[in-house]
Amino acid sequence: MIKERHSLQCRATGKLLFDRALYSVALTYRRILVPYDDSEYSKRALDFALAIARTFNSQLHLLNIVEELNPSPRMERQYIISPKTGERESFEQYLKELYQDMKIDAKQMLAAQSRQIDSQGIETKTKVLLGHAPSKIAEYIREEGIDMVVMGTLSRKGISRIAGLGSVARKISEDASCPVILIH
């Protein structure tokens, strides 16, 4: 028997989104994934996921994907001057250093968010991966047993909606083995 009633309402419409008293037997969201890049869209998704995590006493997973570039073979044979050392290095070495720096920055960003969320009494787990975002997110969902994904997305209209057909959010919403909530 449920001793407390927890519900989640949309601030804009006042519509009831979740009611733990009604759904606690059927739905359990123990692990919620938020792909996070510190954009306004991912911040909105995180806010929404926090409300769900409070309602269901869930663990929140913050994931950042550092996208790999696919340089042409011609570029791979080029040399550049390293911004760090001022020495000549291969483009391949430059990319390795760039990815490493990007991963460090992403880890720091996620750690800051994690500390803030942990202070609210919500358990968090963070991860930074290198690769193709849709593939890495899908892989993470499977490996971690994610029960729900909450992610931000652009609100596209008209012809720009057609251009957005290859978006990460669309791909995850189609392929994920768990519920996916897209936040505009």
Quickly state the pLDDT bin for 13 (edges 50, 70, 90). low
pLDDT at 166 over 70: no
- What's the rounded Cα separation, in Å, for the pair 184 and 179? 16
- Residue closest to 10 by CA, chosen among 18, 21, 2: 18
Quickly state the pLDDT bin for 67 (edges 50, 70, 90). very high
Q: What is the mean pLDDT of residues 43-50?
A: 96
- Classify residue 160: in a domain, yes or no: yes
Q: Please give the residue range of the domain that contains residue 14.
A: 7-183
Total structural domains within the chain: 1
Rounded to the nearest integer, the mean pLDDT of the chain is: 83
pTM: 0.79
Give the CATH number of the domain where residue 133 resides. Answer: 3.40.50.620
Dihedral sign computed on CA atoms, order 33, 118, 43, 62: negative
User: What digits encode the pLDDT tens for the residues 23-34?
Assistant: 444 468 999 999
Q: Is 57 left (phi over 0), alpha (psi -120 to 50) or beta?
A: left
pLDDT at 160: 45
